[in-house]
Structures are given as structure tokens and as C-alpha cells.
């Protein structure tokens, strides 16, 4: 099992037309390269989803959940959505630096 860890800020995205906001962390650098290499080597072929996403297990603090990471064109890395239950459990708000562990 491959594991990656990064410390990165939590940020919010909101559509101009939708009332709800989405929260993400961006996985860039060596961790993003490792994820990309794992995907290209075929380790994730059975776990690949829409939009080039890949299923992962993510952890922030004591909270662990199953989700997907999505390619992020602007950074060349991956986006990890952070759902409300995780933010609440870990006391996170927009702009907080969070340590994220991703396993595949």
C-alpha cells in the first residue's frame, strides 16, 4: 500500500450560481508525483473513476474516510475534497494548514 503525507492549506471553492461551497486541499510536489506514478504504473487501474480521479483512503488527525482525489490542472497536483463531517470533527476552517495522509 502506497502512503503519502503533505501539509497544505484548506481552501474553499464556491460557484457563482450555487449556494453550497466545497472545501479542498491541494496535494502537490513529491506526493502528487508519487500519486501520478502509482496511477500511471497501473496500481490504480481498478480504482480509477470519472474525471481521472482515483479512489483513496484519506486521514486528517484522527478522522479517516474513503474518497477520491482529482487531477488539478492549475497546480499539476491533485485535489482532495474535505467534507463537512471531517472539518467539524477536526475543528478545521478555511485557511488552516492541515496534515493529510493519503493511502492507496
59-103: pLDDT as tens digits:
999 999 999 999 998 888 999 999 999 999 999 999 999 999 998
Residue 44 has pLDDT above 60, yes or no: no
Superfamily covering domain 3-103: AF2212/PG0164-like (2.40.30.100)
CA gap 69, 47 in Å, rounded: 11
The whole-number pLDDT of residue 1 equals 73
Query: How do 63-72 and 97-103 pair as beta strands?
Result: unpaired
d(CA 42, CA 48): 10
What are the sequence ranges of the domains in the chain? 3-103
Range in 21-25, 29-33, 56-60, 72-76 with the lowest mean pLDDT = 72-76
Identify which has the larger pLDDT, 78 or 50.
78
Residue 102 backbone dihedrals phi, psi, to 5 degrees: -120, 130
Output the CA torsion sign for 74, 80, 68, 56. positive
Q: Average pLDDT in the 34-59 region?
A: 71
Amino acid at each position: 500500500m502506497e502512503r503519502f503525507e503533505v501539509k497544505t492549506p484548506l481552501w474553499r471553492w464556491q460557484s457563482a450560481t450555487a449556494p453550497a461551497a466545497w472545501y479542498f486541499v491541494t496535494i502537490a510536489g513529491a506526493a502528487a508525483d508519487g500519486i501520478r506514478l502509482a496511477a500511471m504504473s497501473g496500481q490504480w487501474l481498478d480504482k480509477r473513476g470519472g474525471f481521472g480521479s482515483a479512489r483513496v483512503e484519506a486521514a486528517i488527525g484522527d478522522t479517516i474516510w474513503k474518497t477520491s482525489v482529482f487531477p488539478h490542472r492549475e497546480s499539476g497536483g491533485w485535489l482532495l475534497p474535505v467534507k463537512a463531517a471531517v472539518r467539524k470533527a477536526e475543528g478545521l476552517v478555511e485557511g488552516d494548514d492541515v496534515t493529510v495522509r493519503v493511502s492507496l
